[in-house]
Amino acid sequence: MQLSDLENLKIAVVGAGYGGAAAAKALSLLGAQVDVYEQASRIREVGAGIGLRPSTMIRFREWGIFDAIAEVTSPSDYFEILTATGDPLMKEAWPADGEQVHTHLIHRGDFIDALLGVLPGGMVHLGHKLESVEEKGEGAILTFANGTTAEADLVVGADGIKSVVRHQLFSQQPPVFSGEHAYRTVISTDAAQGMVVDDNLRMYIGRGTKVYLLPLRHRGQVSFDITALNPDGTWAPQVTKENLLKTVEGFDERLVAITRDLDMDTVNIRAVYDIDPVDTWHTDSVVLVGDAAHSMLHHQGQGANSAIEDGGALADALKQADSLKEALALYQATRKPVTDELQRISRQGWTEEEINDVFPGQKPAAAGQE
């Protein structure tokens, strides 16, 4: 699209999470008028740490925000998978694309704060819970629960796994329960039983349970996550310390000790859901990004990274295509095959037998030792 067309484009982003904030940044750099509408009255990310892959960090460099993100992260060299008792199964060096960009480990709260902090003042409107989106002419009208409305040439649905935009215009299929729970918290490095010695992510696999240790040494902390099989699909289930300890039976005694010492008031407990692939992500004036388009299980750590890539790909498509309609089609053609595959792989989960399917050619070093 021509620069003048982009500068006249009025864009409404629904949702101020990773995907929404990233899309807003990328689209605002095109010169478009961007407003972000977030249902919460304040932004608060709970839970744990995530890894920002090199391709994501390269996007941040393109957008001029690399330093703002990197200063609240720890660069990491590799990801390691071990048995429950610590025998090595697989070690993957994080890709080092471009100018030797590392994967960076970051707390979710720091990440969203940093992303929102690089958006222009007044762009984000809190307390705007979307009730409906209606296409009208060459644009769309948003209606919010607070009684306000907004019109835009392009609506970007970045409103997460329970997306109103997706439900109203693209798919009414509900989220899909994975049969797992995720228990996530952040503890001090001193409380990690000496298991955090560098800045590399490690995952321990037991029967039906995965335990993740993701260092946040720039904060003096470590993200401690347990993902365990559980048939209770309640969105926010009630779980006791005894329940958690049962999930780590047979694991390294240090991991059991960490679990035993947890303050349950600090543990974020959620049933794990994703969505089935959505056939179409866009109309002529509305498009989906992030979890609204392709929510996936967290086993590959690709949810946030995929949302960031969506924002970049959408901005790229708007620059490359001759019209808004062509740009949205190009965006979907670029991103959907990638995220469909990530959704598929993430549903495999992690077992010793499946590691080679996820990492072709990397035969487990110690399969069967558990």
Q: Smallest Cα–Cα separation from 48: which of 178, 219, 176?
A: 219
Which string of DSSP letters, residue by residue, matches 78-109? EEEEEETTS-EEEEEEPP--TTTPPEEEEEHH
Please, what are the domains in the chain?
3-77+102-175+275-348 (3.50.50.60), 177-273+352-358 (3.30.9.30)
Cα–Cα distance measured from residue 40 to residue 309, given in angstroms and rounded to the nearest whole number = 24
pLDDT at 307: 95
For residue 15, give Cα distances in angstroms to 23, 73, 142, 367.
Answer: 10, 24, 13, 43
Q: Smallest Cα–Cα separation from 164: which of 233, 156, 234?
A: 156
Strand partners, 293: none
Over 70: is that where the pLDDT of 213 sits?
Answer: yes
Confidence of residue 207 (pLDDT cuts 50, 70, 90): confident
pLDDT at 149: 97
pLDDT at 303: 86
pLDDT at 94: 75
pLDDT at 350: 62
Given a contact cutoff of 8 angstroms between Cβ atoms, the answer to whether 51 and 104 are in contact is yes
Q: Would you state the structure tokens that stand for residue 323, as one six-digit string?
A: 């019209």
pLDDT at 356: 53
Tell me the average pLDDT of the chain.
90
Residues 323-363: tens digit of each pLDDT: 999 999 999 999 999 999 999 988 886 665 555 554 455 43
- How many helices (H) does the chain have, and how many strands (E)? 12, 18
Q: Percent of the chain at pLDDT above 70?
A: 92
pLDDT at 4: 78
pLDDT at 358: 46
Q: What is the mean pLDDT of residues 110-131?
A: 93
Over 90: is that where the pLDDT of 96 sits?
Answer: no
Least confident of 42-46, 289-293, 295-299: 42-46
| Continuous segment of H or E residues that includes residue 242 | helix 241-247
Least confident of 41-45, 160-164, 205-209: 41-45
Given a contact cutoff of 8 angstroms between Cβ atoms, the answer to whether 264 and 281 are in contact is no
Angle at 213 between CA 69 and CA 218, to 5 degrees: 35
Q: What is the pTM of this model?
A: 0.90
Burial of 120 (0-12, 13-18, 19+ CB in 10 A): exposed
Phi and psi torsions of 103, nearest 5°: -70, 140
Given a contact cutoff of 8 angstroms between Cβ atoms, the answer to whether 346 and 274 are in contact is yes
